[in-house]
Amino acid sequence: MALNPRIKDRMTGTTPAGQGKGAWLAALEQGSNLLQSATPLKGFDVYVVGFHCAKGEPDFQMEAHHYCRVVNDDLLQCVLFDGNTGDANLIGIEYIVSERLFETLPEEERAYWHPHNFEVFSGQLAAPGLPRSAETAFMKQLVNSYGKTWHTWHTSGHGHGDGHGSGMDLPYGDPKLMWSFNREGECAEDLEQDRDRAMGLDTEANRADRRSFLDLARPQWGVDAMKDDFSGTTPVPGVRDVHAASDGGAAAP
């Protein structure tokens, strides 16, 4: 899975515990390269980078690099890493479904799926290496979609809620159900600025480009799920909770 040369290298996690590869492992890898198939991994070539927080834990935040396979128009499967380099750590998985598929889920299942409209319209979610027109078209396809994300390893060096200073050197503890940010000011400012600076991304330009399809946005489940966990936040256009809409609440300006 070679990266586009325009994509800047990015590694955010700590070095895992353990010693170097032994001779037996090197031999195994050589044999697998010659004789074994990696067919299930083919097609994971859609690359996006964004931010997650643990549901109910507003300070547990980290950058996530998604490598996704488009199964069909309604479903993507993604593997998550803490960077885009050859030594990046596998930190979790995400399934992405369209609004149409989400609406077939029972109500108790919907509590596991976070909404994506803020990630799209805030400009936070980016597809590095794509021409801006192609990235904008791709983000348009994600409007009103949802993700179910589990992180198994918190390797972030930013120290946001990891309890291990510079990040965990092994995947300790239970997997965490992750959530999306849904208002400006929820994602730690240094987390976003560090990524944009390191990768040459322009969140404000992304936001401006995506205003062109704001009319497609509909109220989503889960936008207000962590509303009371943050303070001093600001709504953005196109992001509204389905329950607030049914109660006649004001839409984001």
- What pLDDT digit, counting tens, does each position of 80-136 carry? 999 999 889 999 999 999 999 999 999 999 999 999 999 999 999 999 999 888 999
Stated as kind and residue range, the H or E segment containing 148 is strand 146-151
Mean pLDDT over 15-40 rounds to 66
The SS3 assignment for 89 reads coil
Return the pLDDT at 13.
66
Which residue, 42, 144, 137, 149, is CA-closest to 93? 149
- Residue 173 is assigned to a structural domain of this protein: yes
Q: Is the pLDDT of residue 158 over 60?
A: no
Ranges 49-63, 165-179, 236-250: which has the least confidence: 236-250
List, in sequence order, every beta strand (DSSP E) within 73-117: 75-81, 90-97, 114-115
The whole-model pTM stands at: 0.87
- Tell me the Ramachandran region of residue 165: left when phi exceeds 0, alpha when psi lies from -120 to 50, beta otherwise: left
- Residue 22 is assigned to a structural domain of this protein: no
Q: Domain range holding 124? A: 47-246
Return the pLDDT at 3.
53
The SS3 assignment for 70 reads strand
Mean pLDDT over 159-188 rounds to 81
- Residue 29 is assigned to a structural domain of this protein: no
Ranges 21-30, 33-42, 223-232: which has the least confidence: 21-30
DSSP 8-class letter at 68: E
Mean pLDDT over 133-141 rounds to 93
| Number of domains the chain contains | 1
pLDDT mean across residues, the chain: 87
- Residue 157 is assigned to a structural domain of this protein: yes
- Residue 20 is assigned to a structural domain of this protein: no
The SS3 assignment for 77 reads strand
